[in-house]
């Protein structure tokens, strides 16, 4: 089949290969993103994103109109009423002060499980019976084997129990959720805030499903398999500097002015310790800004979430996967369809959408995994952009290398083949123009034959070097004496040296470096190039010396001249293709700057190296370091 007939199919293969690779990159990126999103780090990233959304999109003023009030046993209360030792008395006095204008529900975030004074307990029990509804706190002991709860004397027909536990995240200890139920053995209690909400709505019981709880007409998204966790929609800090917008009334102020209880009538009051010196349950929240929040205020925020019905619902896995596939697919489509800036423009739409979708979902009370959505667009984009850069860059380098090789070939032909062609042309012109004797004709014919063979050898060497550079050639390895190699190169270079009155010297090889193994023609070309360079760039009347030595089984074949020498900067660049020093340019000697690069390629192919020692105005020494023939 002709090249023309093959080219369309090859073009299709070249087109389909990048698309298949791009598709594989996208699938691998999606797998990585999905696994990362399910990991602890992905969980932490999603939580941090949700915390940021809380701060970016705080509740409106209408949402801040709270039903609950925080009755705070703060530092002022403890200081004025006897401290922590009189905590139960403070609670009793506060409940008695509320009796004149009772709230609809009083939730007490204290377990009061320790044995108290019977008279004090009787007084507190009597005060509790004067309130419509009371929720007392219960807590699981540290051994997780039993409940701590108020004594039976405090449990009246007006009271129910609710647990006071929160659920700080184990990754960063920020409390974003509370468990709506807790159980030890057969005994289970609902959360303090949930019981307060049920009583506030005058509902006699809760209805349960595997995915939710129903309090009257309100459906609470709390799955049984996750421990009935409720995501708290915290209210933002108040303008007065509080940790949240929950109304706050100090118990000290209530006791000093019982009429202040009127503001609590028909509402829900959460009574608990907020004094930093006495509160045990101090947790961080999305609005903490470095300050912790007491458990009673956390439960008040949970109650407001329940009462408002503004629940944050996690986006289902199926919808999240669909969104991830659409974002990644959009990025892939742009890169598969276009090879220019339009691919990046299409990808930019997906990248921007990935950044917008999580906060947009939050505004609609949905929690979408920011790690999955953002990663589903950004990681495929980075992978495809990196692949495109690598793929296009590789093709560009290949095209540049082919162009450079072609230019090298032209320069090499003009540089190395000019001398034999000139000799052949001049000799043939002499024969055609003049009547020459038989002896002279024979001499010229011999020269033409010799130069033709030389030209043929140069062409072969040129082709071999090109194949060697492309990695397509195996060296023709043979064993030969180094003496013969040097002798041939010096004899070929002698006419050039005689023309400049330069002395060529060969320091005969010592007995321990007689033979070398390699491609004779290529090594001859390398040495000849070094010798002719030394002659061309040396002044008349100087010496070019070739010497050999044995360095632990490596042949060191040195060509030393007394020429112009090289600076340190020139020594670093002299083996670069097409590089010519300023001195070489000013010398008037013609050259392409590829000779030394070819020498380096030949030596490297023989597992050797080339070394250079030079000083400006003193001269240069180029040394070929090659493996020597092993003794048989």
Rounded average pLDDT over 544-568: 89
Beta strand extents in 41-104 (DSSP E only): 68-73
For residues 234 and 244, give the distance between their C-alpha atoms in angstroms, rounded to a whole number: 7
Tell me, yes or no, whether 366 and 453 share the same domain.
no
603 part of a folded domain: yes
Tell me, yes or no, whether 467 and 480 share the same domain.
no
407 part of a folded domain: no
For residues 116 and 138, give the distance between their C-alpha atoms in angstroms, rounded to a whole number: 16
pLDDT at 379: 95
Stated pTM of the model: 0.64
Task: Reply yes or no on whether the pLDDT at 244 is more than 60.
Answer: yes
Whole-angstrom Cα Rg for the chain: 46
If one counts the domains in the chain, the total is 4
423 part of a folded domain: yes
The span from the first CA to the last CA of the chain, in angstroms, equals 52
Helix, strand or coil, per DSSP, at residue 539: coil
Residue linked to tokens 């608990």: 272
Tell me, yes or no, whether 88 and 215 share the same domain.
yes
Rounded average pLDDT over 371-382: 95
| CB within 8 Å of 297: residues ≥ 6 apart | 70, 243, 244, 246, 270, 272, 274
Tell me, yes or no, whether 218 and 80 share the same domain.
yes
Report whether 357 contacts 377 (CB < 8 A): no
Report whether 603 contacts 616 (CB < 8 A): no
Tell me, yes or no, whether 282 and 148 share the same domain.
yes
Tell me, yes or no, whether 384 and 494 share the same domain.
no
* Per-residue pLDDT tens digits for 472-518: 667 788 888 888 889 899 998 888 888 889 999 988 767 666 788 88
Q: Where are the alpha helices (DSSP H) in 138-190?
A: none
Tell me, yes or no, whether 582 and 488 share the same domain.
yes
| CB within 8 Å of 545: residues ≥ 6 apart | 504, 505, 506, 507, 559, 560, 561
Token couple for 104: 């609809």
Classify residue 292 as exposed, middle or buried by CB count within 10 Å of its CB (0-12, 13-18, 19+).
middle
245 part of a folded domain: yes
Report whether 215 contacts 206 (CB < 8 A): yes
| CB within 8 Å of 174: residues ≥ 6 apart | 47, 51, 168, 283, 284, 285, 286, 288
Rounded average pLDDT over 566-588: 74
Per-residue pLDDT band at 11 (split at 50, 70, 90):
very low
Report whether 526 contacts 599 (CB < 8 A): yes
Rounded average pLDDT over 64-80: 88
For residues 600 and 574, give the distance between their C-alpha atoms in angstroms, rounded to a whole number: 11
* Percent of the chain scoring above 90 in pLDDT: 43
Tell me, yes or no, whether 175 and 291 share the same domain.
yes
Token couple for 281: 């349950």
> CATH code at 436?
1.10.287.130
Nearest residue to 555 via CA among 449, 446, 482: 482
Residue linked to tokens 């007065």: 240
pLDDT at 414: 65
pLDDT at 16: 45
Question: What is the residue range of 446's domain?
Answer: 417-473
Tell me, yes or no, whether 450 and 467 share the same domain.
yes
216 part of a folded domain: yes
pLDDT at 439: 78
Mean pLDDT is lowest, of 222-236, 247-261, 561-575, for 561-575
Tell me, yes or no, whether 36 and 88 share the same domain.
no
182 part of a folded domain: yes
Tell me, yes or no, whether 97 and 19 share the same domain.
no
pLDDT at 241: 60
Q: How many CA atoms lie within 13 A of 424 on its CB side?
A: 14
pLDDT at 237: 84
DSSP label of 338 = -
16 part of a folded domain: yes
Query: Among 254, 274, 309, which residue terminates a domain?
Result: 309
Tell me, yes or no, whether 369 and 489 share the same domain.
no
Query: Among 456, 473, 490, which residue terminates a domain?
Result: 473
Torsion angle defined by CA atoms of residues 476, 477, 482 and 484, in that order, rounded to the nearest 10 degrees: -40
Task: Reply yes or no on whether the pLDDT at 8 is more than 70.
Answer: no
For residues 613 and 624, give the distance between their C-alpha atoms in angstroms, rounded to a whole number: 12
150 part of a folded domain: yes
Query: Among 473, 499, 518, which residue terminates a domain?
Result: 473
Q: How many CA atoms lie within 13 A of 516 on its CB side?
A: 29
Task: Reply yes or no on whether the pLDDT at 632 is more than 60.
Answer: no
For residues 118 and 151, give the distance between their C-alpha atoms in angstroms, rounded to a whole number: 10
């Amino acid at each position: 089949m002709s090249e023309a007939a093959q080219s369309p199919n090859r073009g299709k293969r070249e087109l389909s290969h990048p698309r298949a690779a791009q598709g594989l990159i996208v699938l691998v990126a999606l797998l990585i993103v999905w696994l990362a999103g399910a990991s602890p780090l992905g969980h932490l990233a999603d939580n941090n994103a949700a915390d940021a959304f809380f701060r970016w999109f705080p509740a409106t003023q209408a949402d801040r109109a709270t039903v609950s009030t925080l009755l705070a046993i703060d530092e002022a209360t403890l200081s004025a009423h006897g401290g922590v030792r009189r905590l139960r008395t403070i609670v009793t006095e506060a409940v008695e002060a509320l009796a004149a204008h009772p709230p609809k529900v009083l939730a007490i975030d204290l377990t009061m499980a320790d044995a108290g004074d019977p008279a004090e307990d009787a007084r507190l029990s009597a005060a509790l019976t004067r309130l419509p509804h009371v929720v007392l706190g219960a807590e699981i002991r540290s051994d997780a084997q039993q409940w701590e709860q108020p004594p039976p004397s405090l449990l009246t027909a007006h009271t129910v129990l609710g647990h006071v536990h929160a659920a700080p995240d184990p990754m960063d200890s920020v409390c974003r959720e509370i468990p709506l139920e807790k159980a030890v053995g057969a005994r289970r209690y609902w959360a303090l805030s949930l019981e307060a909400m049920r009583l506030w709505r005058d509902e006699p019981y809760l209805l349960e499903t595997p995915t939710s709880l129903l309090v009257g007409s309100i459906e609470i998204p709390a799955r049984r398999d996750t421990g009935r966790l409720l995501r708290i929609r915290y209210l933002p800090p108040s303008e007065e500097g509080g940790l949240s917008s929950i109304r706050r009334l100090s118990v000290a102020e209530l006791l000093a002015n019982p009429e202040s209880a009127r503001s609590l009538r028909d509402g829900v009051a959460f009574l608990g310790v907020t004094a930093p010196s006495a509160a045990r349950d101090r947790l961080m929240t999305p609005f903490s800004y470095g300050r912790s929040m007491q458990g009673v205020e956390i439960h008040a925020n949970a109650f407001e979430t329940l009462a408002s019905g503004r629940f944050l619902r996690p986006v289902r896995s199926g919808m999240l996967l669909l969104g991830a596939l659409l974002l990644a697919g959009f990025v892939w489509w742009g890169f598969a369809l276009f090879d220019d800036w339009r691919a990046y423009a299409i990808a930019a739409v997906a990248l921007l959408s990935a950044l917008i979708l999580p906060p947009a979902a939050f505004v609609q009370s949905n929690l979408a995994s920011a790690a999955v959505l953002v990663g589903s667009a950004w990681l495929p984009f980075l992978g495809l952009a990196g692949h495109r850069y690598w793929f296009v860059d590789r093709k560009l380098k290949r095209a540049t290398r082919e162009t450079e090789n072609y230019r090298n070939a032209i320069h090499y032909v003009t540089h190395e083949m000019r001398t034999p062609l000139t000799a052949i042309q001049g000799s043939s012109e002499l024969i055609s123009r003049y009547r020459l004797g038989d002896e002279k004709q024979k001499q010229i014919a011999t020269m033409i034959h010799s130069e033709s063979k030389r030209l043929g050898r140069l062409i072969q060497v040129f082709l071999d070097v090109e194949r060697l550079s492309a990695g397509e050639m195996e060296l023709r390895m043979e064993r030969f004496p180094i003496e013969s190699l040097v002798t041939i190169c010096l004899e070929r270079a002698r006419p050039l040296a005689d023309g400049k009155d330069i002395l060529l010297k060969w320091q005969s090889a010592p007995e321990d470096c007689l033979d070398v193994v390699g491609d004779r023609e290529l090594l001859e070309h390398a040495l000849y190039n070094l010798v002719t360079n030394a002659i061309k760039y040396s002044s008349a009347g100087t010496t070019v010396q070739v010497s050999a030595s044995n360095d632990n089984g490596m042949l060191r074949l040195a060509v030393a001249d007394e020429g112009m020498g090289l600076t340190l900067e020139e020594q670093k660049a002299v083996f670069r293709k097409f590089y010519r020093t300023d001195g070489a340019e000013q010398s008037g000697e013609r050259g392409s700057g590829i000779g030394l690069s070819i020498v380096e390629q030949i030596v490297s192919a023989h597992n050797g190296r080339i070394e250079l020692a030079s000083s400006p105005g003193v001269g240069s020494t180029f040394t070929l370091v090659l493996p020597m023939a092993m003794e048989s």
